[in-house]
Amino acid sequence: MSCERRFQAELHRRGLRVTPQREIILSTLHCFHSPFTAEEVFRKVTESSPGIKLSTVYRTLELLKSINLVSVVDVGNRRNHYMHVEAESPHFHLVCRRCEAVLSLSSEEILEVQSKLCAKSGFEIEINRISLPGLCENCRRFEE
């Protein structure tokens, strides 16, 4: 099921409303291929629909989060980052502390880590929300 239909179905189920703003915001998320901020969504949305306000973007992202169509990734600067959850294999992000580049990565090893951590501590990590801080290949040269 496309995420547009999932969204509509869930809105109906909860007695909420399908509004143009919500549909536009959701469709905009397809533009992004790494974690994005509310502000970035707002700017993108504004290009085609100047009427939609930032607060509506925030409210819609929150709603999408509760439907699991969006997840939150913390990449470490002050802004919240979100990502569009599609039916992909779980992936996580590497965020360079120096240049702020974001690498998206899907890896078998993280699944191994997940199950070992869970066996050891009962804690179940959520792979899609992981961001690992560090230095990318380029930036490593500039740090002593």
Residue type, 115: S
Cβ atoms of residues 38 and 61 within 8 Å: yes
When the beta carbons of 73 and 130 are compared against DNA, the nearer one is 73
- Give me the least distance between CB of 109 and its own copies, in Å please: 6
Residues that bind its own copies (CB under 8 A): 72, 74-76, 78, 80, 94, 96-97, 103, 105, 107, 109-110, 112-113, 116-117, 120-126, 129-137, 140
Q: What is the DSSP letter of 103?
A: E
Residues that bind DNA (CB under 7 A): 11, 15-22, 37-39, 51-56, 58-60, 62, 78-80
When the beta carbons of 17 and 78 are compared against its own copies, the nearer one is 78
The whole-angstrom distance between residue 89's C-alpha and the CA centroid of its chain comes to: 14
Contacts of 7 (CB under 8 A, 6+ apart): 22, 23, 26, 64, 67, 69
- Give me the least distance between CB of 143 and its own copies, in Å please: 10
- Give the tokens for residue 118: 């869970």
